[in-house]
Amino acid sequence: MKRKLSKKNTELFEPYMLITPLLILLAVFILYPVIANIVMSFFKWNGIKKPEFIGLENYAEMFKDEKFWGSIKNTGILLLYIPLGVILPLVVSAVLREGLKGWPFFRAALYLPNILGYVIMGSICNIVFRKTGPLNNILNALGLQNLAKDWLMSPSLAINSLGFVYGVWLRLGFGCIFFLAAMSSIDESLYDAAKIDGAKWWKTFFNVTLPSIRFSIEFWVVLSFIEVLARAFSFIYTFTNGGPGFATFTLEYGIYTSGFVAFKMGYASAWASVLFVFCAIIAVFQVKLMKREAE
Amino acid sequence: MNNRYDRTLKIIMYTFLGICAFVALYPIVFAVMTSVKTPEEYVTNKLGFPSKLTLDNYSYVWKNGNMLKYFMNTLLVIPAGLVFYLFICVSAGFAFGRLRFPGRLPLFLSVLFLMIFPQMLLSMQIFQICRSLKLVNNYFGLILVWVAYFSPFGTYIMTTYYSTVPMSLVESARLDGAKLYQMLFRIMVPIAQPMIIVITIIGTQSMWNELPFSMLLLQNADMRTITHSLGMLKGQYGLKDPILMAAILCAASVPIVLFLFFQKQITMGSYSGAVKG
């Protein structure tokens, strides 16, 4: 009897034993940094000397900083590319779903940029988009000289190139695989019924495909917000380096330059706190969706 | 009539897919072609096929660019990180997915919540922590940070997987008197093998492509990983494009090989976010 009780007891602790390593790592390297970061945003701190409490001064300085408002505006422009970044993979995966001859090749081709990752693709795209790069060479060869531009040197072209390349093109392959997976669970009889009704392709797309994968579309929208707000640093760093000037500067980039180039870590923490608020809002949506799926 | 509609539709679809695939593949094809041209030929012949293949650019980055050293660094740090990452994801995923205990859901949701924060937001404090623990310029520090940052997603995938494993399997193992880690390694690891391969690939990809943390924590140039060295390369102006492309493709080699051999698993990994319609 006694032995049985102690066995029951160890069983009670086992789950905690299994999750403790993960929780410790998360507490030290994620939870603590997030909280400490908010605290440090009220201090003047260069990362080496003792921090000095200055109240809201960092925030006052930030709200007067043109670069801050510029980075908010740039983030806004990048977010404008999300609708296209949702629609395009939806259409492509609906086409791939038709099972045309050779469709796995197209799927693999589209996915390849995602495998290579942001640093590699950013470095390649940097060369492709240069004034003397292949993109302009192709446009010239096609007789479209008017369209050949100095993509990375004009502020508005640079941020829009970034929006299209990062927000739409680079994530197309991942989006296709994501939506194809969702579409594979649609009941095939729905399509047969639409076919018997003589429905055209677009009609079926809007009336059958889209409503059946609503959940996945919502999830993809949330993922897209995360990618733009919280995962873009490596790509921007290698693609435009935040330039020209501050044209592709984002909040992440601001944290990097104020914190690790100018060593104003207290000030950078104020930027990071703004980013924290945005991320926390998206995270709430994401957790809600994941919870719905896990149940 | 109907037949004609189908045929037109097919033509439109192929054209559309063809354009998309061309746009996706062209930059990579361009990178490969450029990397085997001599810098002189590249200036006059940007788009065409190289008239003469040369591997000089590769041998240049391999020898003068220190790529071999960076490659070896990466081959040391990523497998070590993976072992740790797998242990954490599998054990936590099993606990969250299959065991029932007080606080399970709130803890699991907090793990998901912590997944979102960008590297740059955490970077300043992580740098301070690593400095006080003497983990700057130390692979162990980078591994800890990588595992902390990447394991929530791996844990999420393992959790959704283990929640589909029948409870009776756990109970019968208990009746056999298997201890916790015996049960984990003898039963739970083997049955989850396909998913473990999936998260191994996701983990390798994440670590291979990671830049911000390695940039901050490995300040000693000799310790850089290959992707990190690529991020730093573009700062060196005057480096010719063909040489740069050769360096980029060296860094791309392992992801491409992974893709060729594990396409199915990689596709499956991307499925895990979207199993329900």
Domain ranges of chain B: 2-56, 66-233
Secondary structure (H, E, C), chain B: CHHHHHHHHHHHHHHHHHHHHHHHHHHHHHHHHHHCCCHHHHHHCCCCCCCCCCCHHHHHHHHCCCHHHHHHHHHHHHHHHHHHHHHHHHHHHHHHHHCCCCCHHHHHHHHHHHCCCCHHHHHHHHHHHHHHCCCCCCHHHHHHHHHHHHHHHHHHHHHHHHCCCCHHHHHHHHHCCCCHHHHHHHHHHHHCHHHHHHHHHHHHHHHHCCCHHHHHHCCCHHHCCHHHHHHHHCCCCCCCHHHHHHHHHHHHHHHHHHHHHCHHHHHHHHHCCCCCC
DSSP code at position A50: P
Instruction: Write down the ipTM of this complex.
Output: 0.88
**What is the radius of gyration, based on Cα positions, of chain A?**
24
State which amino acid sits at residue A104: P
Inter-chain CB proximity B212 and A233 less than 8 Å: yes
State which amino acid sits at residue B131: R
Chain B residue at shortest CA distance from A105: B21
Domain boundaries, chain A: 58-125+156-294
Q: Which chain B residues are Cβ-neighbours of A230 within 8 angstroms?
A: 116-118, 121
For A260-290, write each residue's pLDDT tens digit: 888 889 999 999 999 999 999 998 888 888 7
Query: Average pLDDT, whole number, for chain A?
Result: 88
Q: Which of A14, A87, A119 should one mutate to test binding to chain B, selecting the residue with the greatest count of B CBs within 10 A?
A: A119
For A43-83, write each residue's pLDDT tens digit: 988 878 888 888 898 999 899 989 999 999 999 999 999 99
Q: What are phi and psi of A44, to 5 degrees?
A: -90, 125
Check residue A1 and give its pLDDT. 42
Q: Going by C-beta distance under 8 Å and a sequence separation of 6 or more, which residues neighbour residue A87? A: none
Inter-chain CB proximity A283 and B115 less than 8 Å: yes
Task: Look at phi and psi of residue A242 and say left if phi exceeds 0, alpha if psi is from -120 to 50, else beta.
Answer: left
For B214-253, write each residue's pLDDT tens digit: 989 998 888 888 888 888 876 555 678 888 889 899 889 8
Chain B residue at shortest CA distance from A46: B124
State which amino acid sits at residue A50: K
CATH number of A58-125+156-294: 1.10.3720.10
Question: How close B276 comes to chain A (CA, Å)?
Answer: 6
Assign B264 a pLDDT band (cuts: 50, 70, 90). Answer: confident
Residues A131-157 have a mean pLDDT of 86
- Dihedral, A286, A288, A293, A295 alpha carbons, nearest 10: 150
Q: Which chain A residues are Cβ-neighbours of B25 within 8 angstroms?
A: 109, 112
Superfamily of domain B66-233: MetI-like (1.10.3720.10)
Q: Worst-scoring range by mean pLDDT, B94-103, B149-158, B174-183? A: B174-183
Q: Which chain A residues are Cβ-neighbours of B244 within 8 angstroms?
A: 123, 127
For residues B127 and B144, give the distance between their C-alpha atoms in angstroms, rounded to a whole number.
Answer: 12
Q: Which chain A residues are Cβ-neighbours of B266 within 8 angstroms?
A: 111, 115
Tell me how far CA of residue A159 lies from CA of A33, A125, A222, A248, B206, in angstroms: 30, 14, 22, 5, 26
Q: Which residue has the tokens 């010719």?
A: B240
Q: Is the Cβ–Cβ distance between B31 and B248 less than 8 Å? A: yes
Residues A196-210 have a mean pLDDT of 86
Inter-chain CB proximity A26 and B101 less than 8 Å: no
For A27-43, write each residue's pLDDT tens digit: 999 999 999 999 999 99
CA nearest A278: which of A226, A240, A235? A226
DSSP code at position A147: G
Q: For the packed helices A172-183 and B2-35, what is the interaxial angle rounded to 10 degrees?
A: 140
Residues B107-117 have a mean pLDDT of 90
Interface membership of B140 toward A (CB under 8 Å): no
Check residue B269 and give its pLDDT. 66
Q: Which of residues 78-117 of B touch A (CB under 8 A)?
A: 87-89, 91-92, 94-96, 99-101, 104, 107-109, 111-117
Q: Which chain B residues are Cβ-neighbours of A10 within 8 angstroms?
A: 180
CA angle, B250 then B204 then B257, to 5°: 45
Interface membership of B19 toward A (CB under 8 Å): no
pLDDT exceeds 70 at position A197: yes
Neighbouring CB atoms inside 10 A of A284's CB total 13
Check residue A75 and give its pLDDT. 93
